[in-house]
Chains A and B, each alone.
Chain A
Amino acid sequence: MKISLYHLYPEAMNLYGDYGNVLSIIKRCNWRGINVEVVNVRKGDDVDFSSADLIFMGGGQDRSQQVIAEDLLAKGQRIKDAIEEGTCALTICGAYQLFGYYFKTKDGIELPGIGIFDAYTVAGDRRLIGNVLIDCSEFMPRANGLQQSKLLVKSNLELVGFENHSGKTYLGKEVFPLGRVIRGYGNDGLGRWEGCRYLNAFGTYLHGPLLSKNPWFTDYLILQALNHRYGKGISLAELDDSIEQSAFNSAKKRIETAKTTHL
């Protein structure tokens, strides 16, 4: 078996160990004998996203984001078509913002995004920094094969990560949050919701990298990507996740002792 992973702007949009997310997908596939074809998508490339099973895009510094913004807009419709047709996507931080409708700067200028997520972001005054713990159990779609895999069911669907953003993101009715914030600031600094989901496309402020410490979520994305390519009914072999679990636990312990002052 194989999946096709389209990595958007691997050099320009790579902050906070984002490559670790791609590495987590590759390794967890390879350890199960699944091949991952990585397609690096850069500025100016003419790309057909219809054969993408999974799209990944990380965060970037302000300057890098300006450099790629226009190019992303040009690719926006094709990415959107792929997602409507079932392709899975994960976007982190700056990419999450760019997948929304717009980012409104402090001067009131609306920088357009590609509008896959019914969401918009407004520049904030304070940087929201710290470890985060969220609970995704209310929002993960049950019908999409989640319960088919034992290893997904045994997890309590929590995610740990680290957020570092000043933009405040607000969700519309067309999307679900990724999870409920247990500890941390979340989308808008109020400590309510974190991230968002539209079909199989996810946006989140969590890095760490997210997928390294939360193997159930990585496996969920891999399963969706396999379903996209081969149809339903695929199951994943179980892996020894004891090291992942220890890393999750040490992050969770750190969060429980931290203080968060919400906006």
Chain B
Amino acid sequence: MKYLAVAVGKIIILLSRLFKAGGGSSFPGVVALKIDPKLVLKISKRLKQGTVVITGTNGKTTSAKLLAEILKQKGMKVVHNRTGSNMMRGVASALIEQSTVFGRPRGNIGLFEIDEATMPEALLNLKPKVVLVTNLFRDQLDRYGELDKIASIIAKSIEPLQGSTVILNADDPLVASLSKAVGKKNKLRFFGLGDNKYISNSRASIDSRDCVKCGSELGFEKRYYGHLGIYRCPRCSFKRPEVNFLAKNVSLNGVKSSSFSLAGDSGSIHILLNLSGIYNIYNSLAAYSAARALGIDSETIRSALSSFSAAFGRMEKVDVDGKEVYIMLAKNPIGLTQIIETLSTDKDARNFMIILNDNFADGTDVSWIWDADVRPIKGCYNFIYTSGIRAADMTLRLKYEDFDTSKIITIANIEEAFNRALLNTRVNEDLYIITTYTGMLQLRNYLTSKGLVKGFWEEAA
């Protein structure tokens, strides 16, 4: 049977849901790829409008979801590995799930977020029309290794491309330096931020500080966060490239919304977004750039971005007993720093829970929390519940910034900590939960069992 791999994969997906074994987001792909290693290549080439690949340390999921919203508003049917499973097995699972038993995709465009280390295999099989790199920050070093290595893996994966559009974040020196790997038969586009209002003073997460060409320390005219900004090498010609797509006039309204304008090859549009934080301005900019590369008109982009609701665990809102609970995923230093900085700008954000797990998917090394800047919320909280396998490490982190530990409660059990935190949140107040990946899955499973959120495999396509 030609599509045995697809059929077997589909049966596994069905069984795992029947027995509530989870979303079945990668195991079907593992088995299917064993049966047919060329499965991804075979199905994806039947996607008539081609595929888009998004990689980088942070912002993959939100950028992809923003872009999916734009594509859908344009009437396209998107095949998307939406559950955050971003290695080959996750891509295979998504393709199996979203195609017929004969391997015919039920969509016309593919949109895949891809783990940095999976890029070579992914690009070889997906042959994408558009490749987008969001940013490169230090992630969990136990799994990914050092930043320079990640950059060279991505560079190698881009080199063989022909006829693609490669879109890079100009404000990230290491990402911008990937332009040298883009061959002549491709288009190269840059996006970046032009703003004077939100300049960072934090020294946290400046992970790329030296010139990739000559090793001198880069000079920053402005820094928006970490090492993202307007930079120039004092010695050689390396500098932040001219951008094709620009965000400006940014205004962040607390933690829940923002406004800004996007300018590119088709004039300028004004966006009202139901997300906040400079990192989400970058995510919007990334989605906008990719949409323009696919030829989508500005009005569709504006309308889609303005009606967007948060991605899985990325400032996702859940209503419980008249209280609003927000869930935010933080998996590396810059992610945690950015979330905390954004929370600190909103006077309504005073009730917190932070979940720190150290399972494989979280990174088994929890030392990364010491590279994040947690100080902005110091003195701005009613309580902080710390939870998860390494809850005590998080409490310790806060103690060493002189947080008032009498208002920090350590409860390793996530369900118990959540219930206590919710109880201590008054009606009409919000509870903000920051969590690592497996902590988010555990919390969501619990909320699903209480009927408060849908299982992530049930999310509407």
Q: Which residue in chain A gives the minimum CB-CB distance to B390? A: A250
Q: Which of B11-19, B141-149, B425-433 contacts A (4 or more CB under 8 A)?
A: B141-149
CB-defined contacts of B210 to chain A, threshold 8 Å: 63-64, 67
Also in contact, A250 and B368, with CB within 8 A (given A62-B148, A212-B396, A243-B399)? no
Chain B interfacial residues counted at CB < 8 A: 35
Q: Output the least CB separation between B410 and chain A (Å).
A: 7
B389: contacting residue among A14, A129, A250, CB under 8 A: A250
CB-defined contacts of A243 to chain B, threshold 8 Å: 392, 395-396, 399, 405, 410
Tell me the residues in window 132-169 of chain A with beta carbons closer than 8 Å to chain B beta carbons: 162, 164
Interface string of A115-130 (1 = CB under 8 A from B): 0000000000001011
Asked if A20 is an interface residue, CB under 8 A from chain B, the answer is yes
CB-defined contacts of A64 to chain B, threshold 8 Å: 210
Tell me the residues in window 123-171 of chain B with beta carbons closer than 8 Å to chain A beta carbons: 138, 141-142, 145-148
Also in contact, A20 and B392, with CB within 8 A (given A62-B146, A62-B148, A63-B148)? no
CB-defined contacts of A212 to chain B, threshold 8 Å: 370, 396-397, 400
Also in contact, A164 and B370, with CB within 8 A (given A212-B396, A243-B396, A246-B392)? no
Q: Output the least CB separation between B72 and chain A (Å).
A: 41
Tell me the residues in window 364-386 of chain B with beta carbons closer than 8 Å to chain A beta carbons: 364-371
State whether B365 touches A162 (Cβ < 8 A): yes
Q: Which residue in chain B gives the minimum CB-CB distance to A162? A: B365
Also in contact, A249 and B392, with CB within 8 A (given A15-B141, A61-B148, A67-B215)? yes
Q: Output the least CB separation between B403 and chain A (Å).
A: 11
Asked if B209 is an interface residue, CB under 8 A from chain A, the answer is yes
Q: Output the least CB separation between A206 and chain B (Å).
A: 10
Tell me the residues in window 323-358 of chain B with beta carbons closer than 8 Å to chain A beta carbons: 358
State whether A213 touches B142 (Cβ < 8 A): no
CB-defined contacts of B369 to chain A, threshold 8 Å: 17
Instruction: Give Cα A127–Cα B391 distance, bound, in whole angstroms.
Output: 27
Tell me the residues in window 13-54 of chain A with beta carbons closer than 8 Å to chain B beta carbons: 14-20, 23-24, 27
CB-defined contacts of A208 to chain B, threshold 8 Å: 365-367
Q: Which residue in chain B gives the minimum CB-CB distance to A16? A: B367
Asked if A131 is an interface residue, CB under 8 A from chain B, the answer is yes
Residue among A11, A61, A63, A243 facing the most chain B CB atoms (10 A cut-off): A243
State whether B367 touches A209 (Cβ < 8 A): yes
Q: Which residue in chain A gives the minimum CB-CB distance to B367? A: A17
A27: contacting residue among B147, B148, B371, B400, CB under 8 A: B400
- What residues make up the interface of A, taking CB atoms closer than 8 Å to B? 11, 14-20, 23-24, 27, 61-64, 67, 127, 129-131, 162, 164, 207-209, 212-213, 243-244, 246-247, 249-251, 254
A-B contact pairs, 7 of them (CB 8 A): A14-B371, A208-B365, A208-B367, A212-B396, A246-B395, A247-B393, A249-B392
Query: With contacts A131-B364, A247-B393, A254-B358 known, what are 8 further pairs, Cβ within 8 A?
Result: A20-B370, A23-B400, A24-B400, A62-B148, A63-B215, A129-B364, A130-B364, A208-B366
Nearest first, the 7 A-B pairs at minimum CB distance are A17-B370, A20-B370, A17-B367, A246-B392, A247-B392, A61-B146, A247-B396
